[in-house]
Amino acid sequence: MTIESNFSYDPETGVLTRLEGVDAMGRHRPEYIVKGKHSEGYYVTTFEGKKVFAHRIAFYLMVGRWPKMIDHINQDKTDNRWANLREIDHSGNAFNTKVPSDNKTGRIGVRRHANKRGFVAFIAVDGKQRHLAYGDLLTCVAARIRAEKEQDR
């Protein structure tokens, strides 16, 4: 039983199709599109008795190996088009996240300093938080952008 014999993937549309077999509920089904959703919002299916994210299967079908971690570039967890998927490490994946709803600065890695008189910028690198700047909002945002660009190199 191989991934290739169980699934078909269209890189243009991102649609993963389960070839004839048994679905996640144990029912025999002819070919069907994988649209079951995981609690995190990703499409999920089963393979060899284990739950597997559809984007991981798509990556496997395109590259021939399992990825360490995949990032959805546009942050849409259901958009599995090949152009929207990239293999990435944990720290890189953290850069492509939405700004939390309670973030008042509008920028990840920049928050109001505890003394409420200024802002602070920070970034996590290799699991360690690194202080970047303290001062006004624009200074801190600029410091964070510079640090992100350095990480992309």
Q: Which domains does the chain have, with CATH numbers?
A: 3-88 (3.90.75.20), 91-152 (no CATH)
- Spatial contact of 29 and 17, defined as CB atoms under 8 Å apart: no
Mean pLDDT value of segment 77-88: 92
Distance set, CA 111 to CA 85, 96, 115, 120, 141 (Å) = 30, 18, 11, 6, 10
Band the pLDDT of 61: cuts 50, 70, 90: very high
Residue 18's SS3 state is strand
DSSP class of 99? P
pTM: 0.62
Residue 150's SS3 state is helix
Mean pLDDT value of segment 53-65: 96
DSSP class of 43? B
Q: Closest by alpha carbon to 121, among 140, 137, 105, 102?
A: 140
- Spatial contact of 100 and 114, defined as CB atoms under 8 Å apart: no
- Spatial contact of 54 and 67, defined as CB atoms under 8 Å apart: no
Strand partners, 17: 8, 33
If you search the block for the tokens 């077999």, which residue do you land on?
21
- Locate 28 and state its tokens: 């025999």
Q: State the greatest distance between any 2 C-alpha atoms of the chain, in Å, as a whole number.
A: 63
Least confident of 26-35, 44-53, 74-83, 93-102: 93-102
